[in-house]
Amino acid sequence: MTFQETAVETELLELSDLGPRVVAIGGGHGLAQVLEAAQGYAGTLTAIVTVADDGGSSGRLTSSLDIPPPGDIRKCLLALSPRPSVPRELFAYRFEESDVAGHSLGNLMLAALTELLEGDFEAAIRIASSLLGTVGRVVPVARQSLHLQAVVEGRLVDGQAAITKTRGAISELRLVPEDEKANPEALEAIASADQILVGPGSLFTSVLPALVVPGMSEALNHAPGRIVCILNLVTQDGETLGMSCVDHIAALRRIGGL
């Protein structure tokens, strides 16, 4: 059996068949924390992860290797790997010096697996899940990297990292390419879920970028499961400063289509 065949046939360890089928959507630390909490009651658990991150280690790897950003994927894989292990320690390790300073080894391993599998990022995720012994699935919301743009106070701000640092009301989010459709595996997970968790996390640069991918809002609006929106404890300077709870929900409806 070839390495690629092994990747394709890798099966993930399920939590149990007794609890609800739970899907969590977003990115960053917020999604990782939700995944850790949901393990306490979910029967099966799927993370649908944004692919619009262009900062830090992810941004460097995305631009140089033409792969989806691995950072948020790595966080979710670690959140779904509750048992201590050497692979888990390796995936969490971050270099602090030399030309690899700032890179997480987990990001580099996902990049290496993608190259070994001839560009199949999703197969790389499945191999990583097998190595880590995850108790759920991690699914990128789209099959290629997406570039995020926002209209802030009437002007266009380019890039996820730049948006996080720009103060002002955000009226619109755009993805480039705009016609890249949602990952079919993500849509299938939503269609079969009993519960769909949206957030918490950076509203305009983690949560909404996953919702505005073509096909996502339609899938959510037709989903049989209950949608639960989890808001942040505090507002975020540069994105949601001054926004109330009602404002957050309004943005999820207006921009995210919920």
Which residues is 226 bridged to in the sheet?
195
* pTM recorded for the entire structure: 0.91
Task: Report the DSSP beta bridge partners of residue 172.
Answer: 151
pLDDT for residue 97 is more than 90 = no
| pLDDT score for 100 | 78
Q: Which residue has the tokens 């779904």?
A: 80
239: confidence class by pLDDT, cuts 50, 70, 90: confident
Q: Is 103 helix (H, G, I), strand (E, B) or coil?
A: coil
**In contact, 71 and 108? CB cutoff 8 Å:** no
Please state, for a pLDDT cut of 70, what percent of the chain lies above it: 93
Q: What is the DSSP string of 143-164?
A: SS--EEEEEETTEEEESHHHHH
Cα–Cα distances (Å) from 213 to 60, 69, 76, 124, 240, in that order, read 23, 16, 20, 22, 21
* pLDDT greater than 70 at residue 59: yes
Torsion of CA 51, 54, 59, 61, to 10 degrees: 30
Res. 229: pLDDT tops 90: yes
The answer, yes or no, to whether residue 244 has pLDDT greater than 90, is yes
Predicted confidence (pLDDT) at residue 15 exceeds the cutoff of 70: no
Average pLDDT over residues 60-87: 92
Q: Are 66 and 114 in contact (CB under 8 A)?
A: no
pLDDT for residue 72 is more than 90 = yes
The residues, any chain, with a CB within 8 Å of residue 72's CB and separated by 6 or more, are 27, 28, 31, 49, 50, 51, 53, 58, 206
Most confidently modeled of 13-22, 33-42, 97-106?
Answer: 33-42
53-62, 68-77, 200-209: range with lowest mean pLDDT: 53-62
Query: What tens digit of pLDDT does each residue of 171-219 get?
Result: 999 999 999 999 999 999 999 999 999 999 999 999 999 999 999 999 9
> Pairing state of beta strands 147-152 and 155-158?
antiparallel
pLDDT at 12 over 70: no
Confidence at residue 17, expressed as pLDDT on a 0 to 100 scale: 61
Average confidence (pLDDT) over 11-28? 77
Average pLDDT value over all residues in the chain? 91
Residue 102: pLDDT band with limits 50, 70, 90: confident
Q: Helix, strand, or coil here: 143?
A: coil
Average pLDDT over residues 18-38: 95
What per-residue confidence (pLDDT) applies to 16? Answer: 55
User: Which of 93, 90, 48, 95 has its CA nearest to residue 72?
Assistant: 48
DSSP state at residue 229: E
